[in-house]
Amino acid sequence: MTKILVVEDDKPSGLILRKLLDKSGYNVTDVVESGEEAIGTILKNKPDIILMDITLAGEIDGIETAERIYQTHNIPFIYITAGTDSTTFERAKKSLPLNYIVKPFNSKTLNSAIEIALFKFDMETRLKQSEINQKKILESIPDKIFEIKADGSPCSPDDGKLLNELWPGDIKKNAEPFIKKAINGDSIEIFEYQNNSGYFESRIIKMRPDILLVITRDISGKKQNEVNLSTQINEMEDAIKERTGELQKLNRTLIAEIDKRNLAEEEIKLFIDVVEQSANCIIIVEKNGTVKYTNRAFSELSGYSKDEVTGININDIPNPILPEEDIQKQIRGVDFWKGETYNLKKTGEIYYLKASVSKIKNDQGKTKYIVISAEDITDSKKDEMALEKMSSIVQNSASDSIDKDMAWQTWKEKMLSRNISRTDRSIFSNINNSFTQGAGFGTLITFMEMMAKSAKEKDGTRIVDGTLFNEAMKNVKIAQDAFKIFAGIDWIISNNIDLEDKSVRELYSLIKGTISKNNKFAEFNKHRIVINDLPKGLKSKKIKINPQYFAEAMSELVINALKFSRPATNIIVMVYSQNNTLRISVINEPQKSTDGTIGIPEEYEKVIFEPFYRISKLVYERYNTLDFGIGLTFVEKIITRHGGEIFAENIIDYSDVTKDPQVKVNLMISLPYTRD
């Protein structure tokens, strides 16, 4: 039963009100005659609503009394009036009453005014709480949000600050086509760009015909997110303050209020859609551990649909959300948690997340919901683990490399003691194959002979077939490229190259640039090129290099690894120090050869740097290289001119006990440090 306090200094009017209210089924807690009495009585028996006479006798009138009670106790009120002057009426309007009742009273008007006022107060209270909850949810998402108008200008000063921060200079101009498309259509436009801070993605969403919402996310790994909701909240608050409790046309007023609430609900739904579109996994869990919501990104990553995870309890280990009880214990003890976690996809495949967990509390400060926002870091985590594993394998293979070097020296001495020409039968065979197959000379000669035989003589001129001529010219180009490489090797052998003092940090940047340049070739067979972080102790050390030639050598090694690696495997590049020298390893997982061999046979680990030696006789045109056994010779000559050495070895990976040991090939450069 609704409890009502009546504040009326006219006793007869107060008695009439009590009888009408009692008859209508309301509980009248008290009828008092002054503002002071009203403030005192609500401490003993708090009413649901107050009927307040505007003109009360005493130190404080009805308007001031209503304002104090509303601010202190949040109790809604309706003014009772028999007519007031314009000044008093303006004061009354500013205090935002829920309605007015004009004397004399009648039961129907009184009941309608009270019920409408209670309905409006309940709706406003729910709306405010909903706005608070939505704001907390959006603030936990690591995105930055601002609003712009159709012409690209900001909607508020706060929006302007974010606009200038995220879209400085020409970036805003580049966004204009996306803004126009978003205004003219209903789809979400995605604008990607890069500035000095990193790489960003802006999702542009039409909110109203002339207003756009922009959600910007740092997709370069730096995630400090800010969601700007001030404009929307201010608009809704202003709409509430502007509502008046006019006495006439009550039905029309009620419909207008309902329409406004529907609009607010649509805006809240729009914000939920924004969360659904987020590239991060968003999960909302109730205090007792029951999953209430997961967004699309989580379903796409884990393979579990919303229906499969909604309603499960994360306290039941294992589960598709948080698999470890230790992480749950950490979260329970703090309001905010940030760290890395993992789980299994529905298919059984493991994935890794960088997660932040925050808690939404109610007015009493008790946790109501737990919001988990997580970024998929599976690829970077796997790269990190692969580098750690390979670093250990390379270190363990160091002693084996020394033994192999000694064996190579013995083999080489035996070879040199043989009284056989350098161009013996096996080497001549390699040269012949290289020039007739790899470099295209044999094909060129064949085409020339075919053109000569098929040419027709006319007026003293020999006319050749156009198709044969075009094919011949292609092989001319291959031959020309071959001569250029031979000339380059000859120049390196015959001349000194200029070496510059560089820090290892500068060399590391050069290697990363070479990897970036060759990433387009990695896409052919779904390879990934991964480089380790430069150890801190190496950054300031000095070496002597020729940047141009060294970059060409690194590019040749990377492409060589790509050509001979199994599909969908990693090419690992490692920069490290060993035996007081700088080491650079390019490691790949080789394909099995036609005779069943995997990797480089031990007896050929040095021979591969000799001219014209090739393990495979395939021509890799897609890699923009010539395959006639001279590439690694070119690399070896460059490294030698740098005062360094290059080695080739098989290394065995025993890390996965569930599989047979994996053979990998390590092409390793050793460079001396520059002495201070």
Q: What is the pLDDT of residue 542?
A: 94
Q: Does the pLDDT of residue 667 top 80, yes or no?
A: yes
Mean pLDDT in residue range 248-270: 75
Q: What is the pLDDT of residue 100?
A: 80
CB neighbours of residue 618 within 10 Å? 12
Q: Tokens 């209508």 label which residue?
A: 24
Q: What is the pLDDT of residue 615?
A: 46
* DSSP letter for each residue of 319-350: -SS---HHHHHHHHT-SEEEEEEEEE-TTS-E
Domains (ranges, CATH) in the chain?
3-124 (3.40.50.2300), 142-226 (3.30.450.20), 280-376 (3.30.450.20), 392-420+496-672 (3.30.565.10)
Q: What is the pLDDT of residue 507?
A: 94
Q: How confident is the model at residue 669 (pLDDT cuts 50, 70, 90)?
A: very high
Out of 355-359, 379-383, 543-547, 589-593, the most confident range is 543-547
Q: 363-367, 447-451, 619-623: lowest mean pLDDT where?
A: 619-623
- Classify 99 as helix, strand or coil: strand
Q: Which two tokens stand for residue 269?
A: 């739904």
pLDDT tens digits, 450-487: 777 777 887 778 788 777 777 777 666 666 666 666 66
In whole angstroms, give the CA distance from residue 289 to residue 305.
18
Beta pairing, strands 645-653 & 662-672: antiparallel
In whole angstroms, give the CA distance from residue 224 to residue 216.
11
In whole angstroms, give the CA distance from residue 556 to residue 586.
11
In whole angstroms, give the CA distance from residue 295 to residue 429.
63
Q: Which two tokens stand for residue 352?
A: 């890794």
Q: How confident is the model at residue 224 (pLDDT cuts 50, 70, 90)?
A: very low
pLDDT tens digits, 422-434: 333 343 344 444 4
The packing angle between helices 441-454 and 466-494, to 10°, is 150
Look at residues 48, 55, 16 and name the one whose alpha carbon lies nearest to residue 34.
55
pLDDT tens digits, 289-345: 899 999 999 999 999 998 999 999 988 888 888 877 777 788 877 888 898 888 889
Q: What is the pLDDT of residue 412?
A: 46
In whole angstroms, give the CA distance from residue 554 to residue 551.
5
CB of 575 within 8 A of CB of 538? yes
CB neighbours of residue 569 within 10 Å? 19
Rounded to the nearest integer, the mean pLDDT of the chain is: 79
Q: Tokens 């706060």 label which residue?
A: 158
Check: pTM over 0.75? Answer yes or no. Answer: no
In whole angstroms, give the CA distance from residue 488 to residue 243.
84
Q: How far apart are the first and last CA of the chain?
A: 91
In whole angstroms, give the CA distance from residue 111 to residue 339.
57
Task: Supply angle C-alpha 409, 413, 418, rounded to 5.
Answer: 150
- Classify 528 as helix, strand or coil: strand
Q: Tokens 């907390």 label which residue?
A: 136
* DSSP letter for each residue of 547-607: HHHHHHHHHHHHHHHHHTBPTT-EEEEEEEEETTEEEEEEEE-BPB-TTS-BS--GGGTTG
Q: How confident is the model at residue 661 (pLDDT cuts 50, 70, 90)?
A: confident
In whole angstroms, give the CA distance from residue 522 to residue 506.
24
Q: Tokens 């909701």 label which residue?
A: 229
How would you label 333-354 residue by residue, b for 16+ Cβ within 10 Å and e otherwise?
eeeebeeebebeeeeeeebbbb
In whole angstroms, give the CA distance from residue 95 to residue 98.
10
Beta pairing, strands 198-208 & 211-218: antiparallel
C-alpha pair distances (Å), 557 with each of 395, 511, 516, 585, 600: 21, 11, 14, 10, 15
- CA 30 centroid distance within chain: 61
CB of 262 within 8 A of CB of 242? no
Is the bond preceding residue 76 a cis peptide, omega within 30 degrees? no
pLDDT tens digits, 34-76: 888 888 888 888 899 999 888 888 888 888 888 888 888 888 9
More confident residue, 621 or 674: 674
Q: Tokens 């044999």 label which residue?
A: 442
Q: What is the pLDDT of residue 424?
A: 37
Which region, left, alpha or beta, applies to residue 636 given φ > 0 means left and ψ of -120 to 50 means alpha? alpha
pLDDT tens digits, 600-609: 765 555 545 5
Q: 58-67, 237-246, 265-274, 580-589: lowest mean pLDDT where?
A: 237-246
CB of 599 within 8 A of CB of 588? no
pLDDT tens digits, 507-564: 999 999 999 999 999 998 999 999 999 998 898 899 999 999 999 999 999 998 998 8
Q: What is the pLDDT of residue 433?
A: 46
Beta pairing, strands 645-653 & 528-531: unpaired
* DSSP letter for each residue of 623-671: GT---SS-HHHHHHHHHHHTT-EEEEEEEEE---TTSPPEEEEEEEEEE
